[in-house]
Amino acid sequence: MSHKTDQSLFTVKLVKPAIADAFRKLQPQIQMKNPVMFVVYVGSILTSALTVQAFMGQGEAPAGFILAVSLWLWFTVLFANFAEALAEGRSKAQAEALRGAKQDVRAKKLQTPNRSATRILVNGSSLRKGDFVLVEANDVIPADGEVVEGVASVDESAITGESAPVIRESGGDFSAVTGGTRVLSDWIIMKVTVNPGEAFLDRMIAMVEGAKRQKTPNEIALTILLVALTIVFLLATVTLLPFSVFSVEASGAGHAVTITVLVALLVCLIPTTIGGLLSAIGVAGMSRMMQANVIATSGRAVEAAGDVDVLLLDKTGTITLGNRQASAFYPAPGITAAQLADAAQLSSLADETPEGRSIVILAKQEFQLRERDIAALGAQFIPFTAQTRMSGVDLEHNGVVRQIRKGSVDAIRKYFTAQGHSFPQAVTDTVDQVARQGSTPLVVIDDQRVMGVIELKDIVKGGIKERFAELRRMGIKTVMITGDNRLTAAAIAAEAGVDDFLAEATPEDKLRLIRSHQAEGKLVAMTGDGTNDAPALAQADVAVAMNSGTQAAKEAGNMVDLDSNPTKLIEIVEIGKQMLMTRGSLTTFSIANDVAKYFAIIPAAFATTYPQLDALNLMRLTSPSSAIMSAVIFNALIIVFLIPLALKGVKYRALGADILLRRNLLIYGLGGLIIPFIGIKLIDMILAVCGLA
């Protein structure tokens, strides 16, 4: 798929603009948005001024040393800018791909929603909310809207990347159409639902642009922590200068610590690693959502996905395959299975639903009943309606009408008893038995006889039980939502392995369930595509609307799944958790690697003032100037080496919080402690070999 291709991190197409953006981001107003790196930025300016002073013969230290420190501080700032620019570049590349789908087309505007109404050819950009447009085969849909008449096959590959066409028709939950897609066959009349600049594609582009991403609450909290640490170390560093001067004056020996060394010390003390990569991690999280063909309206939604406690999932199409299939015939007493199959097939000949076709096929397979021509039989098909909840056929022979009906047990019982007949208890028992097995029972009647029950089986998706087990290990509760009765819902829930279920769910029930979980302090995620899902989507913390769904659902959600795959909710949670895990891992590493830098730079900074500190020089670095340079260089380079991890993310594993914490401390805590000792020592050895120590 076009949006799921994972771009390489360091292609020329991405790196060249990122390098330019890294320098462009050196403006003070941009640097101030990242307090930690702003301190490094100010330190770079200060050491640059000291370098100029040193070359004029008034330096506090050798000009070459101050220049080297200044350059590596600038590199530190540029590397942090580069990481953010590279992450934004990937998002901008995705946005450019979406912009390619935007085009101003000629639209057939109608005065009224009638195909025979007068047509006026206008530019698509001139259409306004409420306008009616006729879109015929091979026409590009000019704007977002709702189908009000007709049905058509639509190519949405420009938006979703999927080549398979979809059906869009008036009414129901599949009436929304998106500007930039193309009608392949038939025709539709659509009502425009947005004004120019407000289209879904416009919003998608704005969402994908990483530069417009707002910080999430978790990111803001972490920034506050980093700022607090920076202020503490800044105050501690500032007080070292008077202490050093006092010590030298009191002892009459040694030299006071220089401003250059203090700046280098401060930069190595503050958490520059995570400070430089924090923004890139957030942008990359949005980008990974886009690679999964999910548009998140904000980083807040991505972050919330990582903290979800409860997942509400539709049964049909999410937990089950969605199309129920006829699996067995259960005849009533005194009726043979062949008689039931014959009546069931006759009632389904004109039923083009997957369920209806499966009944015809099952009767043919089990009893060799060929498909009859309903027109040749002089039959009148009775379509299913939400009011009657049954369908069937009327067959006329010699002036006598034979009425065959199939439908839900409640609808058939009401219809049957209204004619003065009693409903057999044996059939009721069969219905209950089928429902307890997790299947859907349909009852068939032929005039004054109850023929029996058809079992429609909803197949649970392969591997879904294992996915739910993974979520359970992560501490996430899964709740299945279905309109089925409690018996059917309980059977499917047990087979799928969900933790709980809500049967016979209404929009009010869904809303009530979400609010009850939120009242307990839990974050709730759900998915939906219909207008009746909109209230619950608006209430949920993570609300994934299907792109194939109604405009109301898409507006209520804070994410849109372009693939319209209800199981994507599980993947979204995993991406959210991966972003949080990446941020936590790099924060742990950043704080841990500061410890090694203390042992490198503090003994070197005060070697002449406090000779006793030489005992802390565990790495046996060549000289004080080499120790300071090695720590500053390592501090800059480590940001570069961690950019791929920040953008790709820490590998996701479905583990509990305590196990993840132990792994985090072992790998990134211990690793962050050991790697700087090795890195700083290697840099010191290189400087010594090059005669720069």
Q: What number is the average pLDDT over the span 516-538?
A: 84
H runs (alpha helix) in 252-370: 259-269, 272-291, 299-306, 337-348, 354-367
Q: What number is the average pLDDT over the span 113-125?
A: 88
Distance CA 12, CA 16 (A): 6
Q: What number is the average pLDDT over the span 391-404?
A: 84
Residue 397 phi/psi, 5-degree rounding, is -140, 120
Q: How confident is the model at residue 26 (pLDDT cuts 50, 70, 90)?
A: very high
- Tokens 């993974």 belong to which residue? 470
For 65, which DSSP code? H
Q: How confident is the model at residue 329 (pLDDT cuts 50, 70, 90)?
A: very high
Of 122-131, 249-258, 583-592, least confident by mean pLDDT is 249-258
Between these two residues, 291 and 259, which has the higher pLDDT value? 259
pLDDT for 529: 74
pLDDT for 43: 93
Burial of 465 (0-12, 13-18, 19+ CB in 10 A): middle
Q: What number is the average pLDDT over the span 254-274?
A: 83
Q: Which of 21, 155, 307, 314 is the catalytic position? A: 314
Q: Is 388 annotated as a binding residue?
A: yes
Q: How confident is the model at residue 6 (pLDDT cuts 50, 70, 90)?
A: very low
Q: How confident is the model at residue 212 (pLDDT cuts 50, 70, 90)?
A: very low
Of 193-197, 210-214, 533-537, 653-657, least confident by mean pLDDT is 210-214
Q: Is 273 annotated as a binding residue?
A: no
Q: Is 429 a catalytic residue?
A: no
pLDDT for 223: 84
Of how many residues is the chain composed? 693
Give the domains, in start order, of the chain with CATH numbers.
12-94+209-292+574-690 (no CATH), 128-195 (2.70.150.10), 309-319+461-562 (3.40.50.1000), 323-459 (3.40.1110.10)
| Strands 449-457 and 325-331, sheet pairing | antiparallel
Q: What is the pLDDT of residues 409-446, one digit of tens each?
A: 888 998 888 888 888 999 999 998 888 877 888 999 99
List Cβ<8 Å contacts ≥24 apart for 391-394: 391/347, 391/351, 391/356, 392/347, 393/346, 393/347, 393/349, 393/350
pLDDT for 158: 60
Hey, what are 283's tokens? 């942008």
Hey, what are 535's tokens? 């209230």
Q: How confident is the model at residue 514 (pLDDT cuts 50, 70, 90)?
A: very high
**Cβ neighbours, 10 Å, residue 78:** 21
Between these two residues, 395 and 377, which has the higher pLDDT value? 395
Q: Is 342 annotated as a binding residue?
A: no
pLDDT at 659 over 90: no
pLDDT for 2: 41
Q: What number is the average pLDDT over the span 120-125?
A: 88
Average pLDDT, the chain: 82
Q: What is the pLDDT of residues 269-297, one digit of tens each?
A: 888 988 888 888 877 877 788 778 888 77
Q: Is 684 annotated as a binding residue?
A: no
pLDDT at 4 over 50: no
Q: Is 386 annotated as a binding residue?
A: yes
pLDDT for 215: 64
Residues 6 or more apart whose Cβ sits within 8 Å of residue 561? 293, 294, 527, 544, 545, 546, 547, 568
| Strands 559-561 and 294-296, sheet pairing | antiparallel
Distance CA 229, CA 76 (A): 19
Q: How confident is the model at residue 351 (pLDDT cuts 50, 70, 90)?
A: confident
For the ranges 89-93, 152-156, 352-356, 631-635, the maximum mean pLDDT occurs at: 631-635
pLDDT for 132: 94
Residue 597 phi/psi, 5-degree rounding, is -65, -30
Q: How confident is the model at residue 144 (pLDDT cuts 50, 70, 90)?
A: confident
pLDDT for 46: 93
Q: How confident is the model at residue 315 (pLDDT cuts 50, 70, 90)?
A: confident
For 55, which DSSP code? I
Q: What number is the average pLDDT over the span 395-411?
A: 85
Longest Cα pair distance anywhere in the chain, in angstroms?
127
Q: Is 385 annotated as a binding residue?
A: yes
- Given a contact cutoff of 8 angstroms between Cβ atoms, the answer to whether 286 and 208 are in contact is yes
Percent of the chain with pLDDT over 70: 84
pLDDT at 693 over 90: no
pTM (2 d.p.): 0.64
pLDDT for 565: 74
Q: What number is the average pLDDT over the span 212-219?
A: 62
pLDDT at 561 over 90: no
Q: Is 648 annotated as a binding residue?
A: no
pLDDT for 456: 87
Q: Is 186 annotated as a binding residue?
A: no
Between these two residues, 368 and 54, which has the higher pLDDT value? 54
Q: How confident is the model at residue 385 (pLDDT cuts 50, 70, 90)?
A: confident
For 323, which DSSP code? -
Q: Is 193 annotated as a binding residue?
A: no
Nearest to 537 by CA among 561, 501, 521: 561
pLDDT for 374: 61
Distance CA 504, CA 479 (A): 13
Q: What is the pLDDT of residues 567-618, one digit of tens each?
A: 787 888 888 888 888 888 998 998 888 877 777 777 766 666 666 666 766 7
β-bridge mates for residue 379, sequence order: 395
Q: What number is the average pLDDT over the span 545-561?
A: 78
pLDDT at 488 over 50: yes
Q: How confident is the model at residue 190 (pLDDT cuts 50, 70, 90)?
A: very high
